[in-house]
Amino acid sequence: MITSKKKISSQKLIIILAVVLMVGFYSVFFFWPIIYAFIGSLANWNPLKNTFDFIGIENYKTLFSSKLFYKSLTNTLYFVAVVVTCRVVLGFIIALGLNSINKFKGLLRGLYFLPVIMPIVAVALVWKWLYDPNIGLFQTILAAFGITDVKFLFDEKLALPSVMLMTIWKDVGYAVIIFLAGLMDVSKTILEAAKIDGANALQTLLHIIIPSVKSTIIFVLITSMISYFQSFTQIFIMTKGGPGTTTHVLMYLIYGEAFKNYRFGYASSITFVLFAIILVITFIQFKVLKGGERE
């Protein structure tokens, strides 16, 4: 009895210690930075000059009267809408195709996932060369068809779509792998029963396959959206927010205000607005999709 009591007390001690360490870790490296950043968003904060003057909501007032903020927000929403849609739709179509074949499935799955594990800096640099209007491969191919002087990253209309194309190419493999995992859970018995009942491919897709993987679709949608709202590296490497402000997204704006203009308080206010946007859109998306799932 005494031994068992000692074991129980030691187990409790380990659990308490683990909880304390976990809470301590998240408090120091997660909650405190968030709280400090929010306080900083209410101040004129410049660590280089060691200034931290409380100014209330002035940073937010400046933010919501800034044309550059609204331009960056528009670019971000456009970027997220296109890239997430293409990633989900293309990923699902490719996954359906791979799921229907038996030969070379593992090889093709690996090839589609290979760009995902590549460093985004390296991928962005390679694609920046591909887009080069003088020596880039894409320009060479277009020139063979008589199309010349396509500036891609230097064209105000093409710059952001060019970055989007690179992002879709790099990341679609992630959606393919997730959807393949979801498709493996679709009941073969139900599929066979639908086939016997005379259901065609489209009916099977709409009424059996998609409802069966709806939770997977929700997962890919939400994680993709959160990820792409924070896109920065490819913009920084490929366009530096240009030409002009045509590829300025919110994360690039935050970077510029914090590490170029040293307005850390103003950058913090943009960060919290971005956080609020992601939170609201994620909540709405989750509710709408879950509501449709119940129906």
Question: What CATH number is attached to the domain comprising 159?
Answer: 1.10.3720.10
Count up the domains in the chain and report the number. Answer: 2
- 295 residues of the chain, pLDDT tens digit each: 555 555 556 777 777 888 888 888 877 777 888 888 889 899 998 888 888 898 989 999 999 999 999 999 999 999 999 999 999 999 999 999 888 887 877 788 888 889 999 999 999 999 999 999 888 899 889 888 888 888 999 999 999 999 999 999 999 999 999 999 888 888 778 878 878 777 788 888 888 888 888 889 988 998 999 999 999 999 999 999 999 999 999 999 999 999 999 999 999 999 999 999 998 988 887 777 666 555 5
Quote the pLDDT of residue 8: 57
Query: Do 123 and 8 share a structural domain?
Result: no
User: Range of 258's domain?
Assistant: 61-294
Query: Do 130 and 32 share a structural domain?
Result: no
Quote the pLDDT of residue 114: 92
Query: Do 108 and 9 share a structural domain?
Result: no
pTM confidence score:
0.88
Distance of CA 266 to the CA centre of its chain: 24
Query: Do 161 and 290 share a structural domain?
Result: yes
Query: Do 96 and 53 share a structural domain?
Result: no
Query: Do 190 and 156 share a structural domain?
Result: yes
Domain end position, chosen among 18, 33, 58: 58
Query: Do 148 and 77 share a structural domain?
Result: yes
Query: Do 164 and 284 share a structural domain?
Result: yes
Quote the pLDDT of residue 193: 81
Query: Do 225 and 106 share a structural domain?
Result: yes
Domain end position, chosen among 18, 39, 58: 58
Query: Do 142 and 45 share a structural domain?
Result: no
Quote the pLDDT of residue 293: 53
Query: Do 145 and 42 share a structural domain?
Result: no
Query: Do 110 and 6 share a structural domain?
Result: no
